[in-house]
Each structure stands twice: as C-alpha cells, then as structure tokens.
Amino acid sequence: MRDSTSGAGTSFGGIRTQADIDAFEHTPWQDRLPTENTYELLCRACERHSDRTALRFIMTGEHDAPTFAIDYSTLKARVTQAANAFHRAGISTGTAVTVLLPNLPQTHYALLGAQAAGIASPVNPMLEVEHIAAIVNETGAQALVACAPIEDSMLWDKAVAVADRCPSVRTLFVASAAPYLPAAAQARLEAAFESASRPHRQDVKILDFDRALAAEPSDTLVSQRRILAADICSYFHTGGTTGLPKVAMHSHLNEAFVACMLDAMVPSPNTILCGLPLFHVNGAMVTGLAAFHAGSEVVMLTPAGYRGQGVIPNFWKLVERFGATSFSGVPTIYAALADLPRDGADIASLRFAFCGAAPLPAEVARRFEAATGISLYEGYGLTEGACVSALNPPHGERRLGTVGLRLPYQAIGIWKVDGAGHATTPCASGEIGVIGIHGPNVFPGYLREQDNRDIWLKPGWLNTGDLGYLDADGYLHLTGRAKELIIRGGHNIDPAMIEDALLRHPDVAIAAVVGQPNAHAGELPVAYVSLKPGSASPANELLAAAAKLIPERAAVPARIEILQEMPLTSIGKVARAELRLRAAEQVFQECLAQAGITASVRVRPDIRRGTVTFIQCAAADEACVQDVLGRFPFLLDFGRPA
C-alpha cells in the first residue's frame, strides 16, 4: 500500500479508454490504495480536507430551508465517537449494528462508526416490521440505531417492535432530526418522543445517539482495534420485499477498493446532491465513503431524499443554490426531471448526472438530455460487487446504450453456462452471455450459507444474473436480466424492448412490462404505464402505437393498464415484484369468474413460503378453485393473508 495524499484518479489524470485501464493496471492495485479499511480511508481523507465541507443537510427542498454544514474535521470526530459509543455498547469485530434511519447526518456517523467498531447493517426503515426483524435476527445485531418521531411515530414504533422481536438487540440508540428544526418544532418533537412507546423488554437500554457520541473521545478508537482488509464491514440486505432476506457481506477491502477506483474514473472533488437512501449500497458508497475519499461535498436532500417535500419540484433551484456538479439517480427520477421546467434556474455548475440501480431506457435518456442539455452517464453495479462494476468514463467517451467500461482491476467476463449455471466457455466480443465479475470488489458471499449455492460461475467469478456482451472497445452492453425475462412458450422476451417502444409515445412517462401467468404459454407480457401530467391517451391507442415498434409478435403485450401512480421501491426503481403480483391477481380473478366461481383473490409475498395466492370463497367451491388455479405454479391458501 502507498501512503498517498491524493486519490488514485488525481495522480493518474483520469481514465478515458480501455487502454487507459490496461495502463493503470500496470501498477498492482495494492499500491493504488492508501489503506484497505474504510475507517482509515475516511480518517486520511478528513485530514487532507479538514477545512472543507463534507456534508450539508436540509430538512425540506423549499427555497428557504435552512442549511446545516459539517466539515471534514467534524465528520471524522463524529464517526470516531460513534465507533466508541458502539464499542461501549458491546460492539466488536464481527458484531453488527442495525442502522434503521432515514437520510440524516447521523446516518453517516452510524454507518461508518459501526464499521470501525464492528459491522454496519443498514436496513430500509420502510419495510414491514416482520421483514426488518427477520434481517436483524439473521445478522444477530446487538445494537439498533433508530429515528425518534419526526412527522409521526411510524419509524420509531417499528424500531420498538423490532427490539421486542429480536432478542440479540441490547441497546437502542435514538437519533433525532430535532437539531435541524426551529426551537418550537424541536420542543414538539421532544414532547412527542417522551410520550412515544417503549420496548416491553426491560433489558433493552435506550440511549440518545447524539448524547452518547458527545460523551466519547473523538480523536482515537478506544478499542484500539486493528482492522483487517478481510474483516466484514457491512451487511446489505438484498432480494426486494418478497421471501426471506438475503444478507450480502462486504469486506473492508471491498468498499475501500471501490471508493479508490471511483476516484480514478470520476473527476473530483464534486458537490454531489444525495437523494438516494443510505441503506442502499449506491447511496452509502457514491454519496458516502467514495465521496468523502475524494474530498467532495455531499448535499443531503432531506431525510426522505428525492421523495422529500419540495425536492423534485425545486430540483433545478437546488442545483443552483448549492452549485451542484453531479448527482446520481434512477430512471424514474430522470423521467420526472425531463418534464420539470427549469424556471430560470442556473444549472451551469452541473457537469455529470449518473444513472444506476436499474437499466436506463434509451427514450428516458434521450428526453432528459434533450430537455436539460446535461449528459447522462450510465453505470452498472450490484450490491454483491460493492456498488460499481462498470461506468461510462466522464473523462472519455460516453457511449449511449452501454453501461461503460469495467472498473480497474475488476474483470468482466461474458460466459456461456450449463444447466446448473456454471461457466462453460467464454463468449466472443459482441456475443451475448451471462455477465460475471471477478476482483477485489466482489463480496465474499451471503451471510446464510444456503444462499451461496450456485452464485459462482467458476471459482472467484460471481454470476450477476444479468445478460450482456462486451464490444470491441471494452464497453459493456446490458441486454436483459435472466430472471426478468418473460418466457412465453419457451420463447424468451426482453421486457426492455417493449418498454422502449412504449416510452416513445409522447404521453408515456414511465413504462414497465412483466410476465403475467398463463396456463398454456407459461407467461404473457403485460404492460403498466403512467402518463405525463395532462395526458389522456387510452390504453388501446398506446398498445397500437407500441405494436408497430415491437419487432416480435410474441412480445406485443397482452394488455396495457394505465396506472395513476407507478409503484416504486424505496430508492425509486419500478416495483416490478408488486406489478407481477398485481398481474397474477388479475388473471386468477378472471379465471375464477369465467368458471362461475365467486371468490376474493390476493397474491402476496410470504416471508417463509414465497409467493402465495390467498383465496376466500365458499367451502363448497374450494375443490373447483383448486381445479381452475391448479394449472398455475402458485401455492394456494384458503386462509387470509397475515
């Protein structure tokens, strides 16, 4: 390892081409990293940039919202204090802290402090209590950092319920948004917390997070821990909102490596708008550790991120207000911004807009760039690769329709696979196959051993589950996701092809295509769209227009449904799992109606059994329901969903 006073990118001058990556790799990656653990990486960055602003925070996106600034010296102090507070609560190497917070400055302190003391386990606070508890029980977390009531007590009540359901939790730290509010509002929040519920368990200690930090040293780790590169620093839950959660483990090396390699590929420092949640790997890395390593300023756009009050309506004004140079979003954010008037806002400071977490439809990119003049840089990554595996190079050629060049020192291979999902032979340039990644950013595996079955194409090579190809210049093209393919009578249909056709209609804002169960063909494509404000095109018109642009007859949607509001995940991706449930529910209801059976159908995820179809009908009709719906590969339950 080298002791550097600059990031990898600063010393190299920026990566433009695959040849630059090859040249960059002449130096061993170990010599590119100043350290191989996240705490020391942060400390060195804070020392280099001690007088710079690390974080700015606003409670709302309104033009007069007060701004709260934290410099790099304070960031280092708070993270160190958090680590010491967790250590005092019994957290050590291999022990987890669940961070159940919205986007607050304290969220950064908790995440990075937990990594210095033990393991950070950020969890989506919008999940149901049962799902959160399953993750906490899986990780065995001994401390929980939760949010005191803000507008309501929902997040706090969840934390209390989780503490009661999870015997491993011994300490409940309470972080509050009160410091960022006027005095009168602070008093209301404090009063609301005093009357809020408490865990029934008497052995759970409740501590004020900010006060706990203030009582600790800020200049050294009391534990005197020697953090190793292979030590686990983070648990990230994956798998959406259905089934048992999978918990991906990150080592300190995984995250330190990605932070340094992003600095090699992206010009820095930047002023970055943070709207994605910090429980997601993109938010935690791109607007967390990687940004801090580069000495950037991170502007936290409200506790709810892009969903916060006034954020999207005032987005261009926020760019102007903070002199933002970059931000990262998902396709639904760019679809919304493409239609957002600039209203005279000066956005000349904005140099880069990055898109990841979900494939970017070409039409959304075209509309955004045409409306704003800002270039969109699409990247590719996954939780299991510590966030980033490929990126269109801001220093070099941005190639539309691709997710860019691979991260230095991380290989990308395109493979043909056998029936067991194991690699057989590599694909030629331009040939579609399964994408595999191999390198220092690839995670060591999932926490639960059974989740590690069949995730490796070959030793060290992670099967991403994505399909794509590499062109002659090293750019990665995504062509689909194996598990999102719609299989109609043995014919594979890529939803993206249909979605692109739908998005070409001037009235369509968002489009999503999923497979609807079909007793004969297995699946049929069905489309869900939301329209732009003021638009009123009927579904049959949209279907006719899209059919002309879809090259395969089998890929023409069986139906289109117009939704007032597209269901989205907590990070703004289309909630495809929810749409698949909706499609199944509708077709099952139709099948029963055609058979003359009166029944109520609900298709729901079950944390233990997977997807279950719950039926309410007359007892005399249950056998008939079995006959009608038994043709579909779904579990039937004649009780009620929990």
pLDDT in tens, 589-601: 999 999 999 999 9
Find the mean pLDDT for residues 360-377.
Answer: 87
* Tokens matching residue 334: 């760019």
* Tokens matching residue 573: 């991706």
CA distances from 523 to 11, 46, 517, 519, 642 (A): 52, 53, 5, 8, 28
pLDDT > 70? residue 3: no
Of 583, 577, 572, 124, which is closest to residue 360 (Cα–Cα)? 572
pLDDT value of residue 571: 79
Q: Are residues 460 and 489 in the same domain?
A: no
Q: pTM (2 decimals)?
A: 0.82
CB distance 504 to 549 below 8 Å:
yes
pLDDT value of residue 13: 57
The band of 557, judged by pLDDT with boundaries at 50, 70 and 90, is very high
Q: Are residues 184 and 275 in the same domain?
A: yes
pLDDT > 60? residue 243: no
Q: Phi, psi (5° rounding) for residue 520?
A: -100, -45
Q: Are residues 585 and 562 in the same domain?
A: no
pLDDT value of residue 152: 78
pLDDT > 50? residue 241: no
Residue carrying structure tokens 């998902």 = 330
pLDDT value of residue 15: 92
pLDDT > 90? residue 586: yes
Domain boundary among 574, 592, 622: 574
Q: Are residues 172 and 292 in the same domain?
A: yes
Residue 104 domain flag: yes
The band of 2, judged by pLDDT with boundaries at 50, 70 and 90, is very low
CA distances from 496 to 359, 378, 486, 492, 633 (A): 8, 16, 11, 12, 25
Most confident of the ranges 52-56, 175-179, 637-641: 52-56
The band of 289, judged by pLDDT with boundaries at 50, 70 and 90, is very high
CB distance 532 to 510 below 8 Å:
no
pLDDT > 80? residue 1: no
Q: Are residues 603 and 546 in the same domain?
A: no
Q: Are residues 262 and 408 in the same domain?
A: yes
Q: Are residues 416 and 512 in the same domain?
A: no
Domain boundary among 574, 599, 623: 574
pLDDT value of residue 242: 42
- Of the listed ranges 168-172, 317-321, 369-373, the least confidently predicted one is 369-373
Q: Are residues 249 and 376 in the same domain?
A: yes
What is the count of structural domains for the chain?
3
pLDDT > 90? residue 84: yes
* Burial of 66: CB neighbours in 10 Å, binned 0-12, 13-18, 19+: exposed
Q: Are residues 175 and 319 in the same domain?
A: yes
CA distances from 495 to 61, 120, 482, 554 (A): 35, 35, 11, 12
pLDDT value of residue 9: 38
CATH of the domain at 538: 3.30.300.30
Residue 343 domain flag: yes
pLDDT > 90? residue 195: no
* Tokens matching residue 20: 């630059």
Residue 177 domain flag: yes
Q: Are residues 489 and 365 in the same domain?
A: no
Share of the chain above pLDDT 70, in %: 94
Q: Are residues 523 and 453 in the same domain?
A: no
Between 360 and 358, name the one with better pLDDT: 360
Q: Phi, psi (5° rounding) for residue 499?
A: -65, -40
Of 296, 301, 348, which is closest to residue 320 (Cα–Cα)? 348
Residue 471 domain flag: no
pLDDT in tens, 456-506: 999 999 999 888 999 999 999 987 766 677 878 656 687 888 999 999 999
pLDDT > 60? residue 12: no
Residue 475 domain flag: no
pLDDT value of residue 641: 66
Q: What DSSP letter does each residue of 333-396 carry, written as one string? A: HHHHHHTS--TT---TT--EEEE-SS---HHHHHHHHHHH-PPEEEEE--GGGTT-SEE--TTS
pLDDT value of residue 642: 59
pLDDT in tens, 413-462: 999 887 777 888 999 999 989 999 999 999 999 999 999 988 999 999 99
pLDDT > 70? residue 11: no
pLDDT value of residue 633: 67
Find the mean pLDDT for residues 151-160.
Answer: 90
Residue 230 sits at the vertex; the CA angle it makes with 228 and 235, to the nearest 5 degrees, is: 110
CB pairs under 8 A, 24+ apart, for 618-623?
Answer: 621/597
Find the mean pLDDT for residues 200-207.
Answer: 97
pLDDT > 90? residue 526: yes
pLDDT > 80? residue 318: yes
Instruction: Give the DSSP H/E element, type plus range, for residue 143.
Output: strand 143-147
Share of the chain above pLDDT 90, in %: 73
The band of 607, judged by pLDDT with boundaries at 50, 70 and 90, is low
pLDDT in tens, 101-143: 999 999 999 999 999 999 999 999 988 898 899 999 999 999 9
pLDDT value of residue 573: 85
pLDDT value of residue 490: 56
Find the mean pLDDT for residues 71-96.
Answer: 99
Instruction: Give the DSSP H/E element, type plus range, for residue 406.
Output: strand 405-406
pLDDT value of residue 614: 92
Domain boundary among 574, 597, 612: 574
The band of 261, judged by pLDDT with boundaries at 50, 70 and 90, is very high
Beta pairing class for 411-417 and 423-426: antiparallel
In the predicted model, what is the mean pLDDT of the chain? 91
Between 500 and 41, name the one with better pLDDT: 41
Which residues is 172 bridged to in the sheet?
Answer: 144, 206
pLDDT value of residue 362: 76
Residue 472 domain flag: no
CB distance 462 to 456 below 8 Å:
yes
Find the mean pLDDT for residues 400-410.
Answer: 95
pLDDT > 60? residue 305: yes
Residue 34 domain flag: yes
pLDDT > 60? residue 568: yes
pLDDT > 60? residue 8: no
Query: Distance between CA 153 and CA 607 in Å, rounded?
Result: 25
Q: Phi, psi (5° rounding) for residue 548?
A: -70, -20
Of 375, 409, 366, which is closest to residue 393 (Cα–Cα)? 375
- Of the listed ranges 75-79, 125-129, 306-310, 382-386, the least confidently predicted one is 125-129
Residue 141 domain flag: yes
Query: Distance between CA 227 and CA 247 in Å, rounded?
Result: 21
* Domain interval for residue 607: 580-637
Q: Are residues 450 and 513 in the same domain?
A: no
pLDDT > 70? residue 572: yes
